[in-house]
């Protein structure tokens, strides 16, 4: 009963301390912060999964950290986090040394992100449908739809 409360309070404190650059540079403090982020992500908190997934993806050391970051981002995206879905779409379209670029997968992730009100995802979908890509035929109607959605979401 008290453990989830303790985890939430520790996570809230860790998120605040994360903005103190001098503290983040301390190895012992960084390990504690990472432990709080990991614990909250493992408890299923979508915001923590997205946050810690981004940290592991961009600041993690080694392939294992990158894979865990992508896994956490996938969990957050499937739970409705637009930022995580957008990032996975960008990663899918870019590809890496182990995976070829996959425009179809990018469309799936960006569609989830656009549904979660992520304006940049809608803009990227509009561009992808306008130009087409491998496995994604050009579709001016869908391009216009997502372009309008991007304008609606960004307030332009």
pLDDT digits (tens, 9 = 90+) for 52-70: 999 999 988 888 999 999 9
At 129 the pLDDT is 92
Please give the Cα distance from 15 to 51 (Å, whole number): 10
Q: Which residues contact 122 (CB under 8 A, 6 or more apart)?
A: 110, 113, 114, 146, 147, 149, 150, 153
Percent of the chain clearing pLDDT 90 (strictly above): 76
At 72 the pLDDT is 97
At 156 the pLDDT is 66
Mean pLDDT of 68-94: 95
Q: What is the mean pLDDT of the chain?
A: 92
Can you spell out the DSSP letters for 107-136? Answer: HHHHHHHHHTT-HHHHHHHHHHHHH-BTTB
Please give the Cα distance from 102 to 94 (Å, whole number): 8
pLDDT band at 97 (very low <50, low <70, confident <90, very high): confident
> Domain 82-156 carries which CATH code?
1.25.40
């Amino acid at each position: 009963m008290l453990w989830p409360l303790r985890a939430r309070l520790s996570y809230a404190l860790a998120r605040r301390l994360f903005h103190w650059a001098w503290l983040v540079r301390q190895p012992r403090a960084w390990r504690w912060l990472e432990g709080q982020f990991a614990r909250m992500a493992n408890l299923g908190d979508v915001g923590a999964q997205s946050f810690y997934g981004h940290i592991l993806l961009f600041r993690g050391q080694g392939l294992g950290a990158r894979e865990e970051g992508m896994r956490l981002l996938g969990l957050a995206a499937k739970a409705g986090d637009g930022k995580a879905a957008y990032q996975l779409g960008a990663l899918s379209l870019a590809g890496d040394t182990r995976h070829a670029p996959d425009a179809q997968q990018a469309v799936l992730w960006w569609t989830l992100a656009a549904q979660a009100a992520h304006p940049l995802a809608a803009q990227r979908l509009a561009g992808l449908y306008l130009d087409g890509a491998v496995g994604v035929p050009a579709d001016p109607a869908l391009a216009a739809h997502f372009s309008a959605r991007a304008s609606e979401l960004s307030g332009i």
